[in-house]
Chains A and B, each alone.
Chain A
Amino acid sequence: MSDMSSTMTPGSGPSEKLLFHEARDVHTANGTLLGFWVYLMSDCLIFACLFAAYGVLGREYAGGPTGAEVLELPTVALNTTLLLLSSITYGFAVLEMQRDRKNPMLVWLVITGLLGAGFLTVELREFAHLIAEGNGPQRSAFLTSFFSLVGTHGLHVTCGILWLIVLMVQVMKKGLIHANKRRLLCLSMFWHFLDVVWVGVFSFVYLMGVLP
């Protein structure tokens, strides 16, 4: 940066050095968070397409089981509880991060990860149960769109848990430096975003799917 301005203004002294742009303003403090928000919005469009596919195909049973027959609401209620709890525990981790208390934050992150893993376990058991009964994704258009939508959400949760583990290792090694705080806030947005998508899933797929 300084090289460039000195070559551009060979004659001028240091007092009136020409500045073409302020180097510090190129990166605003929250540029990463805004960029990550834009990524989340594009992810939102992926889910919108899957929701649309489910909306169109969700009642095409092809002689197979209906939503009321295969979807178990108590399981979904358990999953919703786990994910909502993991959202609030991540919130507590962010609060500890703001106070620069590393170890309590790590504890909340571990709890968040365990709740997320519990969510995945319940979901995978549900999938395994469906497939074992011959109601896999190939059975009907309803089940194809169901597995695509719920499976994509589960894949996101899996990625979120992996990211959480990597981030915990980074915090343990480097401490709560600025870069790690930024990463923690990005993951917080990702995690809460997954909960937002899940609200759509349990309302649109499960609750509306079992209506007569």
Chain B
Amino acid sequence: MNKIFAISSVVIKELYRRKDFYVLFILTALITLATWVMNFFHDDNIVRFIKEICLALIWISSLIIAITTAARQIPAERESRTIFPLLAKPISRWQVLLGKFFGCWLASGFALLVFYIFFALVSASREHSLSVPAYFEAFWLHWQMLGIVVAMTLLGSVSLSTPPANMTMVFIVTLGILSMGGFLHLVSERMSEPSASIVTAIYFIIPHLELFNISELIIHDWPIAPWLDVLALTGYGLLYSAFFLLAGCLVFRRKALN
């Protein structure tokens, strides 16, 4: 594990020494503050609407950080040829990939935590109340979802030819699942065969990322989700992450580097 965490620590160092995260954080923070300041009338509906906008911003920012960080890991190592001195050490390719995964996941988790803390503090300052368990659940599940996205992006980075192609593909797939993943089986009911079977099969195969989005609970101040459900979703997320990582390792193992 020491070797894997050594790789992860370099990924994390790279993220905080680059400007991407700071730019995104400042942008998100400015928009969040601006929308809250605009709420002069303290109308409940407007508060909900503003919360929804801020959470959507956090989702978009976190996806940008996770996907762009993960997509450039292996291609950048190959392009700058740092992969060669690295693999000349007693480390296998699966350890490199796993290290990259943990690095990206932890780094995007840290960025996510900063976003959520900022959002929680801003909303608490206006609403004079804060449900810490609700924010924790929202953050936790969001982070598990990022794990799947990071693993999926790493699989793409060892399979597809260029990082932009990979990023575009993962963005489309992720946004597609988030917006339509939960309705695919309903759509299939209105289709004829064989399309209906294909869409149903897709519904059962894809990771349902939309399940990890419990923003509504925060927006409407609803009671928190049962912890057992959160635990089950965590297991579900880890299972999909492991599947994508395994596929990534199999592809990367056979990949010619020179």
Instruction: Tell whether A pairs with B.
Output: no
- Which residues of chain B have a CB within 8 Å of any CB of chain A? none
- Which residues of chain A have a CB within 8 Å of any CB of chain B? none
